[in-house]
Structure 1
């Protein structure tokens, strides 16, 4: 049974029955989508371009951005259709999977519950890993600065992870995306500031193009693709954001929250990846901030900004694990 066809036939309007305690504006929703999708992975863009070549990098970034946006569009549209069919005001990620199978062809209807469990398990596994990576990135950034300016205090990175555990747990007690949107907006500002500082160092010296490849080694394309997807993918936060919007119809369409957010993500990632590769070539490290001089105050600010940005980004992945927010 086609969900979209049923959705058109039904008169049930999920938006009229949707009651949100703390609704989000379009701007806050856009900030949440951008910050959830474009985090520390932005700074790995130059390395990704070095692996694929600048020509393949540009084309690949645009294509992957379109695919990610299209997948989000399909998810939200299907969820809305399932809401109409099941007469529910909103559905989460796992619930959308369940009802899509339930109202799909007869051969897959029996897998509805299994699809829901698999979606929950996949989200949990994904964001447990993401939260672990974020904790290490924050600790590494702070450790690099402390080791440089307070050399008498040398601690293992594990100690810094423990130090940041308490403030991270406190920050994660915020359970409304409307309030978290403020932190997401601050994180976006810090991320853009880091982006500008990186461009400052990129264009602060002569850029040579002679040794830069337009097409890289095809064996490195999978690494490029995985890096770009890591930087752009934020599918787990899509349904929580759409479900608590003040005007959920504005999430899709043109212009819309999705179009604006994905356009900004592709632009920021593509420009930093391209020019970062042109500036540093094949000597790039995992994050472009690690290529910046440690003694210049703008570079120090960039390292502090990215640590704060990741810190403020931490709660949304945690909240995606709570079904009641979906």
Structure 2
């Protein structure tokens, strides 16, 4: 996928993701009025929609909740695995440059990172993770400024890059783009934690402002990153920064620290889904606490094993995006909107949602197949 078409497809997927976020927020507002609750997460909204929607769906309300939670867990653990691969790949490049004789296999760096990740994931309260998240955001923002400093220098003419590569790479790109935009699990919690939740919606609300800002950054990094490095661009733009430049190596280390901090925040979501059900099997007291810490440690090690099994950053991102993020961001929201407003669904709404659902399912099938096929080819060679 090349620079001009990359931006066009990114705009389309960004727009579809925005539609999904908006429809989910509106459906949540409807469900809150029906049930009288002040807050509902994604799974709550789906369950309530089935309970209060068409009579045939009432028996499947609990299944709908579990299905959403399943895909949320798969997606969040997928993010965690990608973060491990990203951090290890960048750290390996720095060490290999300055200490070539001491360079290790990438899986060794993944194992070293467990020394930091496991204690971080022992933090049980989200408010205690806030300083970690704040530091990660500062490091990421600073790194992004420096990345633009590098990729905007000595740019070739736009016409020097082809507008389109091949249709074969489109499914891989679909998974990568959906992975980048997927954040639907955080939309409702963010609205809930605002002092004035009404400011989340609207033309200049937090949702629209955030989506535009993030989209512009994605477009800029994708467009100028490819324009700068062309066919040799790697799974992370940081891996293309000049190894001989100390500032570039500092950017990589800053991103490694930022990603390790973000890992703990992403890990918090599936723990909040899984552990409450498991905790009922343990008595209150120290045994329950020990069991929770043990379970957290085991889950972190599971993500390590998955990351070590597939240490290909670009292909791992595409696989996670196509397999799980596509359903959360492109399939479930339009289905939820149809259930919420049934039977008073207009023709335009019906057609729009049907097209998005079909597009999401095709992307899921094609993207997952292409990602698995590319991974098999990569390992076979």
Q: SS at the partner of 1:210?
A: helix
Separation in 2, partners of 1:215, 1:294: 29
Please list, as runs of the form range in 1=range in 2, the aligned pairs for 1:1-326 lying within 5 A after superposition.
Answer: 51=1, 53-321=2-270, 322-323=272-273
1:284, 1:291 within 8 Å by CA — same for their partners in 2?
yes
1:224 Cα deviation after fit:
2.0
1:92, 1:323 within 8 Å by CA — same for their partners in 2?
no
Higher relative contact order (CA 8 A, sep 6+): 1
Separation in 1, partners of 2:192, 2:72: 17
Structure 1 residues 191 and 166, CA, compared in 2 at 3 Å: closer, same or farther?
same
- TM-score using structure 2 length: 0.67
Structure 1 residues 242 and 179, CA, compared in 2 at 3 Å: closer, same or farther?
farther
2:89, 2:106 within 8 Å by CA — same for their partners in 1?
yes
- Structure with a larger share of its residues in helix: 2
Q: Which of 124-133 and 110-119 deviates more?
A: 124-133
Separation in 2, partners of 1:181, 1:69: 26
- Which residue is equivalent to 1:32? none
Separation in 2, partners of 1:312, 1:88: 32
1:85 Cα deviation after fit:
1.0
1:300 Cα deviation after fit:
0.6
Separation in 1, partners of 2:256, 2:9: 28
Q: Structure 1, residues 159-197: CA drift from partner, whole Å, max 9, x if none?
A: 322222232222234445455444334323322332222
1:291 Cα deviation after fit:
1.4
Q: Which of 67-76 and 216-225 deviates more?
A: 216-225
- TM-score using structure 1 length: 0.77
Separation in 2, partners of 1:210, 1:74: 39
Q: Which of 161-170 and 70-79 deviates more?
A: 161-170
Separation in 2, partners of 1:174, 1:247: 28
Structure 1 residues 136 and 181, CA, compared in 2 at 3 Å: closer, same or farther?
same
Instruction: Name stretches of at least 5 consecutive residues in structure 1 with no aligned partner.
Output: 1-50
